């Protein structure tokens, strides 16, 4: 029987991720700025609209946040986030959105 972890709303979580084989995921300041922008753009319960460069086109409506981002730290080969979940399954949805978007950006534009 599989045990499923459930993240509780209004609770704090330390989330981290690193590059495969401990490789760098932020090669310069532009990469860090892209990731920080993704933290903002993808923090919404609504699905995103694809932009021309894997960014999000925010419709100018009131946003419903998935998480509160309390703290973040970007290192060359990994990152740390302190998040408070606001919506059901919010951390999972948030991390999927930023993970997919940044990976596509990195693989297509930085690795060619």
- What confidence tens digit (pLDDT) does each residue in 53-101 have? 555 555 556 889 999 999 999 999 999 999 999 999 999 999 999 999 9
The predicted structure's pLDDT at residue 41: 92
pLDDT of residue 44: 95
Question: Which pair of tokens denotes residue 100?
Answer: 């997919």
pLDDT for residue 92: 95
Q: Strand order in 78-85's β-sheet?
A: 12-18, 78-85, 67-75
Neighbours of 7 (CB within 10 A): 15
Q: Lowest mean pLDDT: which of 2-6, 17-21, 102-106?
A: 2-6
Burial of 58 (0-12, 13-18, 19+ CB in 10 A): middle
| pLDDT surpassing 50 at residue 52 | no
At 31 the pLDDT is 93
Q: What are phi and psi of 2, to 5 degrees?
A: -80, 140
Q: Is 83 helix (H, G, I), strand (E, B) or coil?
A: strand
pLDDT, one tens digit per residue, over 18-51 is 988 999 999 999 999 999 999 999 999 988 766 5
Asked if 72 contacts 79 with a C-beta cutoff of 8 angstroms, the reply is yes
Burial zone of 50 (CB within 10 Å; 0-12 exposed, 13-18 middle, 19+ buried): exposed
The CA-CA-CA angle for residues 44, 73, 69, to 5°, reads 30
| pLDDT score, position 81 | 98
Domain residue extents for the chain: 25-110
């Amino acid at each position: 029987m599989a045990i499923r972890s459930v993240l509780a709303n209004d609770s704090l979580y330390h989330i981290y991720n690193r590059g495969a084989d401990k490789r760098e995921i932020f090669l310069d300041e532009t990469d860090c700025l892209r990731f920080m922008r993704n933290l903002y753009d993808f923090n919404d319960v609504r699905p995103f609209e694809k932009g021309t460069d894997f960014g999000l086109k925010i419709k100018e409506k009131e946003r419903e946040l998935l998480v509160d981002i309390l703290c973040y730290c970007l290192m060359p080969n990994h990152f740390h986030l302190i998040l408070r979940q606001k919506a059901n399954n919010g951390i999972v949805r948030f991390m999927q959105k930023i993970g997919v978007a940044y990976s596509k950006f990195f693989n297509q534009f930085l690795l060619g």
